[in-house]
Structure formats: C-alpha cells, structure tokens
Amino acid sequence: MALLSSMLFISLFISFTEARELLIGGNRNAWKIPSSESESLNKWAEASRFQIGDSIVWNYDPSKDSVVQVSKKDYDSCSTSSPIAVYKDGNTKVKLDRSGPFYFISGTEGQCEKGQKLVTVVLSGRHQFFHVSPAPSPVEFEGPAVAPTSGGTSLRGGFMVIFGVLVGLLLF
C-alpha cells in the first residue's frame, strides 16, 4: 500500500511541475508595438505564472525584428548596447532557468521606446510546487507585480498539502 501511495504522490508531483512552452502574448503576432496600454505584453506577463524550466516563445518576421535579452538598466533605457543575448531567428525560444526577472526588448531601433518590451518574473523553486509567490521586496528587484493566484490554483496547492499529509500518515 505504501509503495502505491508513494508512486501516486510522485506522479502527481511530476504532473504539477512539468515545464511549459508559453507563446508570448498568447498568440503568434504578439511581438509588436502595442496599440494601447492594455495590449502591453507586460499585462499578459503579469497575469501569467512562470516557473523555472518553462520556456517562452516569440514568433516574428526575422527580417523586420529581433528579441534582445537585457539587464534591468538596459530595459529601462531601451539600450541594446550590452545585451545578455540576441535572438534573430523569427521563432525564438528562451528557457527560464532561474527565478527572478527576465528583461526583453525589441532589437529594432525605436520599437522598445514605443512599448515593445517584456518583463517576465519567474517564481522561485521553493514556491513553484505549491504555486505560492512571496511579495518581493523593492530591494530584490523592480518589475511588474505578480498577479494574485486564482482560486483553482490555490485549491490545487491546498489539495497537495492535504494529500502530502495523508501519504505521510500512510507511510508511517
């Protein structure tokens, strides 16, 4: 019985922690100058939950644009002079391999200043299983606020706590 419970717990843990590929903005043509504040990619990012291991994907015309990963300072000033990485393939996939903020801007001159930029905040590893995100202090980093957890996600985290306690009781 204990072996069956352990196997069930491990399979549930793996299913809740699988990495995802997220198309930025939720559609193929989202990497562009937003027509309004409400179309900002940061609005989409604020409503998303990024976890270590997830990948974000951009689709764009490589003859007209690129994606540049930059520091916060370069993000704020829309500077491409000292990039962390430059992507020009038109189908860019970036793996989010650590917690914290990731900053991206358009590589086309003038487009970042018009709002073509994105900040993603990746949850820390210790919080991604239960989908709980601490409120970051202003000293840690500045970025978009992380959206509150939906009720369904909270229920899943609560279920996992109860399930873990039950499995622990069965094993001992």
pLDDT at 150 (0 to 100): 43
Q: Are 119 and 103 in contact (CB under 8 A)?
A: yes
Mean of the per-residue pLDDT values of the chain? 77
Q: What is the pLDDT of residue 151?
A: 42
What pLDDT was estimated at residue 38? 76
Q: Per-residue confidence at 128, pLDDT binned at 50, 70, 90?
A: very low
Report domain extents, the chain: 18-128+135-144
Give per-residue pLDDT as tens, 9-61.
444 444 445 789 999 998 888 999 999 877 889 999 999 999 999 999 999 99
Note if the pTM is more than 0.75: no
pLDDT confidence of 2, banded at 50, 70, 90? low
pLDDT, position 136: 42
CATH number, span 18-128+135-144: 2.60.40.420
User: What's the pLDDT tens digit per position in 99-116?
Assistant: 999 999 999 999 999 999
Tens digit of each residue's pLDDT (9 = 90 or more) over 55-85 = 999 999 999 999 999 999 999 999 999 999 9
User: Which residue type does 74 have?
Assistant: D
What CA–CA distance (Å, rounded) separates 168 from 57? Answer: 39
pLDDT tier for residue 155 given thresholds of 50, 70 and 90: very low
Instruction: In whole angstroms, give the CA distance from residue 97 to residue 38.
Output: 28
Output Rg (C-alpha) for the chain, integer angstroms: 19
**Which band of pLDDT confidence, cut at 50, 70 and 90, is reported for residue 140?**
very low
DSSP letter (8 states) at residue 140: T
